[in-house]
Amino acid sequence: MYDFVIIGAGVIGTNIARELSRYQTKAIVLEKENDVANVQSLANSAIIHAGHNPEPGSLKARLNIWGNELYDELEKELDIPLLRSGAYVVAHNESEEKQLEHYLQISLQNKVPGAKIISAEEARITEPNLALSITKVLTLPTTKVTYPWEVAFACMENAMKNGVEFRKNALVTKLEQKDDHYLVTINNKDRIETKNIINATGVATDDIAALLDSSVEFKITPRKGEYFVLDKHMKGFVNHVLYPLPTEAGKGVLLTPQVHGEILVGPNSVFVEDKYRTDVSFEGLAYVKANAGLLAEGVPFHKIIRSFAGIRSTSNYHDFYIQESKEHKGFFHLGGIESPGLSAAPAIAKYLLSDVIGIDSLYPKNETFDPFRKKQPEFHSLSLAEKQHLIEAYPTYGNIICKCEQITEKEIVDAIHAPLGSHTIKGIKKRTRAGAGLCQGGYCEEKVMKLIARETGVSPLSIAYDSDDSSLFEEETKVEE
Ligand SMILES: Cc1cc2nc3c(=O)[nH]c(=O)nc-3n(C[C@H](O)[C@H](O)[C@H](O)COP(=O)(O)OP(=O)(O)OC[C@H]3O[C@@H](n4cnc5c(N)ncnc54)[C@H](O)[C@@H]3O)c2cc1C
């Protein structure tokens, strides 16, 4: 019998798993995908917002500001990357300057450190490509950028180290109450028993809630956001996150420097029917292009290396819905965790456990909890002497597999065999960045595929790109006699 089953391994479920591992509980995370952070937590802007637009007094505001602070702790304990970029919200004319003043007041009410309005001339000292039409900016120095997938990965890895179990390819298909506990059916066949269920399923939270509850207080209406990625050689084109003024549809099309040097351009905001369809459209990307031009002069669209889309879990509740079910004790929902969900994730986990569950009065502390997780060294970022030293100890550090990102055979093999390792091309890309550079895997994907096949002892024909049914090949066409 588990104390807690957490459904969903995005940034929310994995942060909760790590917080739970501070206590003596038996807990498991169930994820329908073959990896952590494959849905919203994979495809977003990666910004740890300062908190200039959530409604003062809302949970979104409170947990955004607290979460932003907690990222400094995560950086130290879990070795996650943080780019302390700061942000500028821009205004182009008098009417927009009035709105900027309004967002300054919201920032002050939300206690956003260092928020103030400065002239465009002053902003251009550090941001020379700022659009010439911009007249004033709201500066938000505590805005940061992270690598969202790694946040989830690091939290899950640390939670596992502290005793939490993880099961991938585990689609929860049925929930039942039996006496004082619950039965959770996985993939329509396996059943596990638990005292509590935490529903952290992002866009599916209303569907999962409805597996047990007869009435659900929030409904998810999925909203797509599309992006371009500019090659990392454009690093420095913008140094801050550049936001337009927020609208009903969200924070708008942004320019966001990323931790590895790329620049994200987007997202737009379009309500869609399908919660999981992440294709991009010509119209969507054209909108993104047109609006990016309002933030900076000469956005280098000739340096686009890819486009992608993510689906927001927007809800009609208009705030984070973090509550115990009214009908089922021990069934907890994290609904409507759209932006600033990534920013707030570590605070959401703490809030759920302390304020909603009251964990301190239920379970003793895990005295052996180890908050630290150390990332494998990134070979390309080491000094020549360090590289030589490593190659002497492990010669496969000397074999570069991904030329764009300078990722070695040793790093890829480690990612295949790690406790939270992966046997798919995309899983290796997420862990090592092999295939994330200029050629987008054109050169190295085949080499990564052969390494996975060699290390796992399976035929290259069975290696998947991403989901288990996304195999790269149908059959061999040239077979040696
Ligand atoms: C376009 C876009 C831009 C954004 N930009 C930002 C930003 O810059 N800053 C910010 O703070 N926030 C941002 N967000 C919001 C942020 O990404 C989300 O709030 C956050 O990722 C939500 O995490 P989650 O764990 O709730 O959801 P998810 O990451 O979607 O995780 C839910 C998990 O549940 C799993 N699941 C679903 N159903 C089942 C089932 N039946 N059984 C088992 N598993 C199941 C899914 O496979 C998934 O892995 C953005 C979101 C989008 C889409």
Task: List C-alpha distances in Å: 331 to 24, 165, 353.
Answer: 19, 19, 13
Phi/psi of residue 364, nearest 5 degrees: -70, 155
Angle between helices 148-161 and 341-351 (to 10 degrees): 20
With the C-alpha atoms ordered 146, 427, 232, 133, is the resulting torsion angle positive or negative?
negative
Check residue 481 and give its pLDDT.
62
* Per-residue burial over 59-73, b = 16 or more CB atoms within 10 Å of its CB, e = otherwise: bbbbbbbbbbebbee
Report the catalytic residues.
49
CA dist 465 and 273 (Å) reads: 26
Q: Residue 286 C-alpha to ligand 1 middle, in angstroms?
A: 25
Q: Which of 19, 33, 40 to mutate to test the pocket of ligand 1 (most atoms within 8 A of CB)?
A: 40
The ligand 1 atom at the shortest distance from the C-alpha of residue 67 is 11
Q: Whose CA is nearest to atom 41 of ligand 1?
A: 172
Nearest CA to ligand 1 atom 19: 341
Q: Tell me how far apart the alpha carbons of residues 314 and 412 are, in angstroms, rounded to a whole number.
A: 36
Residues 6 or more apart whose Cβ sits within 8 Å of residue 228 = 264, 265, 266, 285, 288, 289, 301, 304, 306, 307
Closest CA to 46 of 135, 150, 163: 150
DSSP conformation class of 354: I
Q: Ligand 1 pocket test: which of 41, 70, 151 has the largest number of ligand atoms within 8 Å of its C-beta?
A: 41
Q: Which of 217, 257, 262, 223 is nearest to 241 (CA)?
A: 257
Residue nearest to atom 15 of ligand 1 (CA): 339
- Centre of ligand 1 from the C-alpha of residue 93, in Å: 35
- Whether residue 148 is preceded by a cis peptide bond, meaning omega within 30 degrees of 0, is no
Report the atom number in ligand 1 closest to the C-alpha of 267.
Answer: 1
- Residue 245 CA to residue 252 CA, distance in Å, equals 7
Which residue type, as a one-letter code, is found at position 56? P
Looking up tokens 């630290």 gives 372
Ligand 1 closest atom vs CA 38: 49
The pLDDT assigned to 417 comes to 97
- Rounded CA-CA distance 228/42 in Å is 15
Using DSSP's 3-state secondary structure scheme, residue 355 falls into helix
> What whole-number distance in Å separates Cα of residue 234 and Cα of residue 251?
23
CA distance 266 to 81: 21
Specify the 3-state DSSP secondary structure of 270: strand
CA distance 341 to 40: 10
Partners of 76 in beta bridges: none
pTM over 0.85: yes
Please, are residues 302 and 438 in contact by the beta-carbon 8 Å criterion?
A: no
Pocket of ligand 1 (CB under 6 A): 7-13, 30-33, 37-41, 44-47, 49, 170-172, 200-202, 204, 208, 225, 267, 310-312, 337-343
Q: How many helices (H) and strands (E) does the chain have?
A: 12, 22
Ligand 1: residue whose CA is nearest its atom 37 = 201
- Cα(239) to centroid(ligand 1), Å: 26
At residue 278, the 3 state secondary structure works out as: coil
Contact 346, 15 (CB under 8 A): yes
- CA of 163 from ligand 1 middle (Å) equals 24
Instruction: Find out whether 341 and 264 touch, Cβ atoms under 8 Å.
Output: no
Distance between CA atoms of residues 422 and 426, nearest Å = 9
Listed residue (225, 230, 254) closest to 47, CA to CA: 254
121 phi, psi to nearest 5 deg? -60, -45
What is the atom index within ligand 1 of the atom nearest the CA of 256?
Answer: 8
Distance 342 CA to ligand 1 centre (A): 8
Using alpha carbons, select from 215, 162, 166, 160 the residue that is nearest to residue 186: 166
Q: Whose CA is nearest to atom 21 of ligand 1?
A: 41
With beta carbons less than 8 A apart as the criterion, state whether 473 and 465 touch. no
Domains and their CATH numbers in the chain: 2-41+149-217+316-361 (3.50.50.60), 87-141+221-312 (3.30.9.10), 379-462 (1.10.10.1100)
Walk along the chain (481 residues) and give the pLDDT tens digit of each residue.
999 999 999 999 999 999 999 999 999 999 999 999 999 999 999 999 999 999 999 999 999 999 999 999 999 999 999 999 999 999 999 999 999 999 999 999 999 999 999 999 999 999 999 999 999 999 999 999 999 999 999 999 999 999 999 999 999 999 999 999 999 999 999 999 999 999 999 999 999 999 999 999 999 999 999 999 999 999 999 999 999 999 887 889 999 999 999 999 999 999 999 999 999 999 999 999 999 999 999 999 999 999 999 999 999 999 999 999 999 999 999 999 999 999 999 999 999 999 999 999 999 999 999 999 998 889 999 999 999 999 999 999 999 999 999 999 999 999 999 999 999 999 999 999 999 999 999 999 999 999 999 999 999 889 999 998 888 888 888 877 6
Tokens of 314: 């927007």
Q: How far is the CA of 183 from the centre of ligand 1 (A)?
A: 25
